[in-house]
Structure formats: C-alpha cells, structure tokens
Amino acid sequence: MLDWAGIPPDESPCRGGPRGPYVQSLRLELYRGASAALLESGAAYRCFCTPRRLELLRREALRCQHTPRYDNRCRHLTPAEVAQKLSQGLDCVVRFRLEKGVEPFQDLVYGWNKHEVAEVEGDPVILKGDGFPTYHLANVVDDHYMGITHVLRGTEWLTSTSKHLLLYKAFGWEPPQFGHLPLLLNKDGGKLSKRQGDIFLERFVQDGFLPEALLDIVTNCGSGFAEKQMGRTLEELISQFEIGRITTHSALLDLEMLPEFNRIHLTRHIENEGLRQRLVRELQELVKHVYGDQQADPEVLEKQYVERVLLLRKGHISLLKNLVSSDYSYLWVRPSVSRQQLQMISTEADEIGKLVLGPLLALRLLAHKIQSPQEREALHALTVLETCVNNCGDRFHSEIAKFRFLNELIKVLSPKYYGTWSSDKVKLRVTEVIFSWTVWFPQEVKIRDAYQMLKKQGIVKEDPKLPEDKILPPPSPRPQNSIFDTDEEKSKEQEKSAQVSRRLNAISEVSENVRHMDELLEKYRRQELSSADQDTLQALFQRCEKLRPLLFRLASEAVADDEVLAEILQANDKLTRALGQYRQVVSHQENGDGGGSSSGSACVPVCPPAPRRMRSYTLMDFSELEATAQTPTAPSADTPSASRHGSTTSLCLLEEEFQSLGLSNSPVVQKPPPNFGLAEPTVCNEYSEAVSAVQTLGPQESWEDSCAGKSEFQGLNEELSPLSRTKTFSFQEFPVLADLCNVPLNPLAFAPSFKLQAVLLQGPKDTCSISPLTVYDRNGFKAMLHFSRDPAPGRPDVLVMVLSMLSTSAHPIKDIAFQAAVPKTMKIKLQPASGSELPAFSPLLPPMVVSQVLLLTNPHKDPIQLRYKLVFTQGMQPFSEVGELTGFPEAELWNRS
C-alpha cells in the first residue's frame, strides 16, 4: 500500500536490500545471539515462572488496587538453580534486568525526557519461549544492524524509550535519535484503531480516492509545516516539512473533508495529459460496469468523448465514480426522444430565452464560469461577456449594471470569497472590465459605485492602464435583429397603454360609485331606502374602500405627470368625501338622531357607538400645517374664547376630515400642538433622512396631570411611545405619496387649526445642528447619541435624545439591549427600541439602523453624567460594554428654549 500511496520504502521484503532479510521470522538467529550476549554479561536472566503464577500476581495487584507488575522473582536464581531447572526441561523466557539511574534523553518533539522504568515496572520479557523476540529486543537489534539513525514513532512509546536506551547501553551500541509524533485521532477525539474497518487503506482505494488526496489530508491535519494548505504535492510536502515545527498536540482527522481534497487532486490529474489517459480508461470500465446493459450508442465509450466529459466536469466532481451516478446518466444513456422533437423543444426554448429570460440566464451562467477555479475557463467567460456587451443590446446592458451581477464579479476580487484562490490574471481582467464599463457607461451609477467601493476597500489600488486595443469600445448601434431587444419597444408601449387604461377605468368607477352613493344616501336621509337598496349601499361602501389603495398605486405610477396626478388626487378627494358622508349619515340614523344634517351639526363630530381603527389612505402635506398653536392651559370657566386654537372655519375643516375617518361627536379638548421636532434617523444610500412621529396625549390627560402622576414621564411616555411603533421607511423605496395606512390616527393628535389635505409629501425636515456623542465604536458596531432640535412640548426641562446604532461588521449583531442611569438630581426614561438585531453589512446595500428614544429631565440643569450598559452578541461572541458619557453640550441643550 505504500507503493500505491506514492511513498515506497527504500528497502523492504519486496524490494530487497543490503541489510536483509526483512522478515522477522528469518532473523531469529540474530535475536537469539543478542539475547545470549545479554545473558552472558548478566544484563538478562532466564525466568521460569508459569503463566498460572503470573496470572495470580496480576489478580492480587488488581485486588489491592496496584498496577500489575512482575515481582522479579527469578532475577535472584543462582546459576546452579538455573541449570537444574533447564535440566528438568522447564519452559523459560529471557527477561532484561532493569536498573535504576536512567539517563535523560532529548526527544526531537517532546524535548528532554526521563522515565525511571525500574520503579514502576518489572523486568520485561525480551525473548519468548518459542524463540521469537518481543518488540523491545527486536526494534533495538533491527535498528542497529540496519543502520537506522532516526526513529519517528507514536507518542505511546515515549515512556518505553528509557527502557530501550538501557538495552542499547547493555549492548554497547550508539542509540539513534528518537522523535515521538502526536497521535492521529478521530473527529470526535477517539483514537484511530485497526478495529475500525473504515480506516484501512483498502477501503479508500475501493471508494476511488487518490493516494495524493489521502496523503494531503493526513499531513494537513497534523503539524510540521509553516501553514495549512490544501492541494500540496509530495514534492511540496518534502520541501516544506520541518521536524522542528511538529507540535505535541494530537491531530483530528476529519474524513468529511476528504472529498474536497480529492477534488483538487483529481482536477490536477485531469489537466495532466498522461494521468488523464489513465482516468479515461478507468471511467470507460466504470461506464461498462454501471450502464453496460442500457447502452445503445457505442460512441459514448470512445476515448475522445470520455476525455471531453472529463474536461467539461473538471473541478465539479470529487470522485471519478460521480460521473456514473444517476445525476450524470444522461451522458451515457441516450434519451428516447427523436431529433425532430428535440429540435422543436430547442427552438421554443430559444424563443423564450430571447423574449424573457435571455440576459438574466446568460449572465448567471457567465458569472458561474468567471468564478471557476480554472484560469482558462474564467478568461474565456470574460471574453464572452465583453462580446455580449457589444452585441446584445440595451437589455443586456441594464442587467450587467445591476448589483445582482456586479456582486458576482466583486466576489472574484474579494479575499472574503474567491479572491484567495483566483489567479492574478483573472482578477486583473475583471478589474479592467469593470473599469472600462465606468468609462463607456457613465450613466450607470451602480457600476461606478461598485468600482469606487473596491478602491476604498483597497482591493483595487489604482486604475488599470488599458491599451487602446483592449478598451471596451462604446456600444454599437442596436442591430435590427438584436438578440434580447426583440419587441422591447412594443412591450413598453403595451405596458404604458395598460397603465392608462387602468387609471381611466379606476377614475371612471370612482365617479360612478360616488354619484350612485350620493343618490342612495339622500334617500337614506329621507328614510325612503328599501332593504335591497340598503344592501346595494353597503356593497358600494365596501367597493369604495377597496378603491382607495388602487388610487394610491396609480398615484405612485403617475408621479412624473402632474396633470394625471392631480386627476387621481381629485378622484381620491371625491372618494374620501363620499365615505365620510356614509359614515356620518349611517351613524346618525343608528344613534336615533333622525335624517338630515344641518350646517351647525356638521361642525360637531359624531362619535360612532363602537369606534374601530380604520386603515386610512388619506395623503397629508405637513408643510401646510399652520403653526398657530399656543401653550395649553387647563380648561376653566374664566378661559376666554380667544385663547382657543384655530377658528370655527378651521374647526369645520378638521371635523370634515375626522368624519371621513369615521370619527365624530368627540368633545374637543385643548391640547398642545403636535411636536414635529422629534425625528428618528434612518440611513439610506449614504445619507440621513428624518421621519417624524406624531402623537399626543389622550382626551382625559393634560401635561399638568402627567407631571403630578406616579411617574414624571407618564405623559411623555404616552405621547412619544408611537415613535417606537411607527414604521420607518427608506426614502429610496418610499413613494412620493405618503401611505399613512399603518399609522394609528387620533382625532386629538392635531391642533384644530391644522387642515389635512391629500397632497405630495414634502422633503425631510432639517436635522439638529448639535453634534452627536459617540457611545460605542468598535469592531464595526457604532452607537451614537443624537439630540432633538426642540425640547418636549410644554417641558423645556425635558431633553429628548435618540440613540442610533448601526453596523458595518461582516457578522450579524443580535440581542441588542441598552440601559442607562443618571444622578439622583435627574431622571431618565427609555422608550422601547425599534429593534434588537442588525444584519451583516453588505457593501452594496444601505446599512440598517436600530434607534431608541431617551427622555431626560434635569430641573437644576446640572452637568449631565450618563452611565450606560450596552449588551449585544456579534456573530457568536457576546459583548457587554459599561461606560459613562460626559461632555454633553450643556449650553446648547438648555439655552435653546
């Protein structure tokens, strides 16, 4: 098996040699002569103890919980007693006399060692009664007569080495150098044993593993090399091995990695012309054995065909027998499909690829080939890619400019993915391709961003200098019969026509339903509506509810056309008015208020008997809100009417909106105006946006009541708690029209002077100019404390802060928890965080953010000292950070009000 493994011995029973014989049974005379020399010098003696006596000694030692050992009884026999026993024909063995005072020796791996074997062992047997030696005598005699200079063996023989050195000393021979190697263990830490049938070399040969792979994995899991490396050849192992690098730690043999080692060496065999011919013959025999009775085409066994199969699947198979598995049966068994049927199917597939999936599937296949570990295959794929860019039209250009494909090219360059084993020639070619695209496709921002990201990370040091003949030429005019652009203009026109048709149908349906609902509501007020018409009215109401999200989607599609957008908004106003009238009229009738509604009652909202949370698609413009609110005061009889917020007109406008939301007849309570200064920062496309969260106190609460309650922050908690529940949108994906369907609306959340109107959402508000404080910045995880532009409404002594946490780490961050404490003269309240997890950072996506609102009251305006504890898990490692924040901008924080 050593010959199979490629490490044949210099001398062996098969090869012969000058120091033979090499079979132990043919060297018995040599062992008898050596033992006779020891007997003559007195270093050994004959032992006549029977096996029964030795067994009794062993049992007695075990009963006394001692280590079994020979008691050296026969050591003290006189020559006369020995002669008498020999004359009686008694069986005997030869034992070596162990002496105290063993000299230390230097092991090549374990260093200086010394074992007083005479104190823990009895005299060992060196020659058995049948004339065969034990290992102790045989290895000493054989190593001496064969001229062995270095002995490398398992560490289990380390304690016996002192015994062997005593034998060398008794013979008067010079001992070799000893080195004891650490054991090779199973993956679970158990010792490899010949009793395990699956570790015999014959088993690996039968399974089809290459000897180079087996030798590679054994040396790779051990030590003796500067670094671990897969795929080393025997010559590389010899040149890189250093005995001084062997460690004393046992090595774990992970046989689950053996297929990967075999894949690497099998690829080398396929690339080598001589070795490939041997693989061709082996594969032919395997095909005959597995598919012999199914073959109808002898061409599959031809040498050229089998060799082509090997070259095509090079790098994709781990064992040669993988090619005869069921997954590759199509290579050897021809399908039972006629050529005419096959041609028809291929034609249909080509047409489908041209019309729908052509560019996507082509780039997916090219990306797979570019990432191939074979340099020639990757370079060829890059050449095909440049050809496709020149000839496949705009649809192909739009696909290569997406992060989905650019990310596959970046993997070839990044050391975190395939950059460690991709060749320099392939990486240089990929860099040239991406750089050339930045030149010839300047309008594609994603290509430029991807290339700049490579330069920022240091993967690309400088722009490649491309010769004129290698620079990708600008895209040629699209040919009349472009591969992927067939019928593209026609499909765009059809899609545009479909959008116009959907919009016209939706607006027409809204107008018809609103007109019909107005007629039925008028009859309902006069109590002239029949039961059938009541069912029709209910069905119209439900249909109008479903039309509201449809109008929102149509408005999102028509952002670029102001006239179309105005038409859609007008239809939405009609729909909102009709739904509001339905709720008002029906609720009046159900409460027994009679039919008809006067102008005076229109200004008084009617509260339905069972108010429910409605999904509202009403579009609001916060930029038109009038900031006419004043500081709230407790209602009393002396309060003048002029102190109330807004006017009767604005009240009516507000009530009209409340009625459209299903909210009416609620008493108007004076409350402070909504605070738009609180903003939760989000990061998207490398810039920060602010999304305002608006909510006020309930009808039965006031600022004075909340301050006098159990907690100083009870009112603030109820006012600001929706911030943690409000959905935060990315402005890249946020439509121009704000969808507020998921925001819980409160009829008292706005001052009476605020007019709600469905218009365009304006840009984000200005952020606070106070510089934030860094709480934590380590290992790609950063937490910063931002300060609100304004204090809490009606509470200038309450500071509002937002803790934002983001990650640029390659590992996900989970179980994020933040705790804070301040001196006794202050109080702090933490709102629930927007989340507790951050995904792993992707260079092609904007980072996610977790935010948390903190409320701090500081009546005496003392210097702020905030102690915190930040706990999180990064990857698999938990972290707990405790610290103290100082250096708050006191003057800017407390002098703003």
Active site residues: 194
Structural contact between residues 126 and 136, judged by C-beta atoms closer than 8 angstroms: yes
Report phi then psi at 764, rounded to 5.
Answer: -65, 150
Structural contact between residues 788 and 677, judged by C-beta atoms closer than 8 angstroms: yes
Convert 414-447 to b/e letters by CB count within 10 Å (16 or more is b).
beeebbeebeeebbebbbbbbbbbbeebeebebb
Q: Counting Cβ atoms within 10 Å, is residue 678 exposed (0-12), middle (13-18) or buried (19+)?
A: buried
Structural contact between residues 670 and 644, judged by C-beta atoms closer than 8 angstroms: yes
CA distance linking residue 555 with residue 603, whole number of Å: 31
Residues 6 or more apart whose CB falls under 8 angstroms from that of 615 comprise: 741, 742
Element counts in the chain: helices (H) and strands (E): 29, 19
Structural contact between residues 323 and 284, judged by C-beta atoms closer than 8 angstroms: no
Report phi then psi at 249, rounded to 5.
Answer: -85, 140
Q: Which residue type occupies 891?
A: A
CA distance linking residue 817 with residue 811, whole number of Å: 17
DSSP state of 16: B
Q: Are strands 184-185 and 251-252 parallel, antiparallel or unpaired?
A: parallel
CA distance linking residue 398 with residue 5, whole number of Å: 53
Ranges of H-type helices in 105-171: 117-120, 135-145, 161-171
Q: Quick one: tokens of 11?
A: 């001398």
Task: Quote the radius of gyration of the chain (alpha carbons, Å).
Answer: 44
Measuring CA to CA, how many Å separate 293 from each of 190, 296, 329, 658, 661?
Answer: 45, 8, 13, 82, 77
Ranges of H-type helices in 457-561: 488-525, 531-557
